[in-house]
Structure 1
């Protein structure tokens, strides 16, 4: 297979399409923190993930059954596998690591290195080779993420396997992303695939939540607000835009936008929870913007 820089392999679209989709992706991806912040005040993480995925899947189910091609068992089975990888193992792995007392800042940093893993996998799996400029941009973006995350980094007393779990969860989602991109001719509509992903995740998260106690949701305002946020923004918006972008643009270019999630998350925390902004936030945001621009520009 001939290897070309990803900037040359992208299909031609309106020049504003990717900036608009990248902005929506970053806003949706970083907003998961807000929903978790509200909902986890009233329930354990596994229960929150169960209701997040169950509500998402149930809302999408009527549309998945009536709009789009007829769902066949082979396609459903393939999407269930992607659901296990991109929903259950990815979200659940990080949740379990936090419950095992891996510091949240370290978990967030490893999660935010997802684009680096995708960039590394995109060449051997997809034949999408990053140019020297794009690797340099990636390095700058990673540096920006480290600046933003530095103050919250610490190493706790969690078991060794829990630290490995965070890395493994990130790598599983990276692999799922490049495999999803690789299946160019057998894509089903995003609303159908996302429905299968979330319903698959809900079954597995439900089993985990039952092991910890009851599946009944807390009937509180904070939990309801958290669920609305997680379902509408962090699931429907973020995942839908992410999978749609994978079909239109090179996978490393799409994932590079996720580097902007840490500083944007800090802005969410400042706007909604009055958490202070530091100089490191703005320095890291600037560095990350430069890195993402270098990685994504044609």
Structure 2
């Protein structure tokens, strides 16, 4: 019985990275469905407030442990503001203001390299020459996937800036979570993170947006998908992977997001997927394999 349970656990650990990439990649699809009916910060406010309330109830019902002091709570909240607030706000605003999804994906695709560069001085992690080669190869693959959408003109400079802000947010958030959030309970800790981000958005959204929502079927579907598949499923997987692996290795999985997103967009929306993009997917997969190979 013990061996069977152990084998099942090992299978689950092997499946976690692939499942995370698949779920995380649907975030752009959810944004594509939902943003025509609501402004970006209002969308995020509704999404994160709903998830925070649900997770808080789950944490209370299952008697999950909560942080024992305010400094610990503050560190958990800060990681959430970076991973959820800064990153998601930057992505949603960039797409809402017209930056092509491919360009947005490429900008955020720099994250594994940035994480690897910072994980040494901030976390004391060593990135080998083979892993650096894999990170660069993965970035090249991402560039091949989205190269047909790299037409950025002066009108895109402002939304491009938001994408860069998102890049900084997810990079610093991943590193900060690795250093300070490893011991948090996923139920209560994530509820705190979403709640803190929702409070920040409750201040920012009324100051910058009309907060009008068109409650169409497409918007409700996008909202529920992003709430429970992304904000619960994918984020739980991300934090579990961060807890178990080096930051640079976990970050390398983000290289697979643009290729998988392109595949999903091709299946759902008929978006173009040429030979170069397919080759780029293979290159990105090889890069991630180099980074994560034992």
For normalisation by structure 2, the TM-score amounts to 0.88
**C-alpha distance in structure 2 between counterparts of 1:229 and 1:241, whole Å:** 16
- Give the CA RMSD over aligned residues: 2.3
Q: Deviations over 1:165-201 (max 9, x none)?
A: 43233123212211221237x6211122211111222
CA 1:105–1:274 in 2, change beyond 3 Å: closer, same or farther? closer
Q: Residue 154 of structure 2 aligns to a residue in which SS?
A: coil
Q: 1 or 2, which has the higher helix percentage? A: 2
Matching residue within 205, 208, 221 for 2:204: 208
In the other structure, the counterpart of 1:179 is 176
Q: Which ranges in structure 1 are unaligned for 5 or more consecutive residues?
A: 1-12
**C-alpha distance in structure 1 between counterparts of 2:146 and 2:232, whole Å:** 27
In the other structure, the counterpart of 1:250 is 246
Matched, 1:278 2:280: no
Matching residue within 103, 107, 112 for 2:109: 112
Matched, 1:91 2:88: yes
Tell me the CA shift for residue 151 of structure 1.
0.7
For normalisation by structure 1, the TM-score amounts to 0.87
Matching residue within 15, 18, 37 for 1:42: 37
**C-alpha distance in structure 2 between counterparts of 1:16 and 1:143, whole Å:** 30
CA 1:51–1:116 in 2, change beyond 3 Å: closer, same or farther? same
Q: Which piece of structure 1 moves more, 141-150 or 216-225?
A: 216-225
- Confirm or deny: 8 A CA contact 1:100 1:158 kept in the other structure: no
Equivalences for 1:118-157 in 2 at 5 Å?
118-157=115-154
**C-alpha distance in structure 2 between counterparts of 1:267 and 1:120, whole Å:** 29
**C-alpha distance in structure 2 between counterparts of 1:141 and 1:105, whole Å:** 15
**C-alpha distance in structure 1 between counterparts of 2:231 and 2:152, whole Å:** 30
In the other structure, the counterpart of 2:46 is 51
**C-alpha distance in structure 1 between counterparts of 2:121 and 2:291, whole Å:** 18
Q: Which ranges in structure 2 are unaligned for 5 or more consecutive residues?
A: 1-7
CA 1:233–1:180 in 2, change beyond 3 Å: closer, same or farther? same
**C-alpha distance in structure 1 between counterparts of 2:107 and 2:209, whole Å:** 29
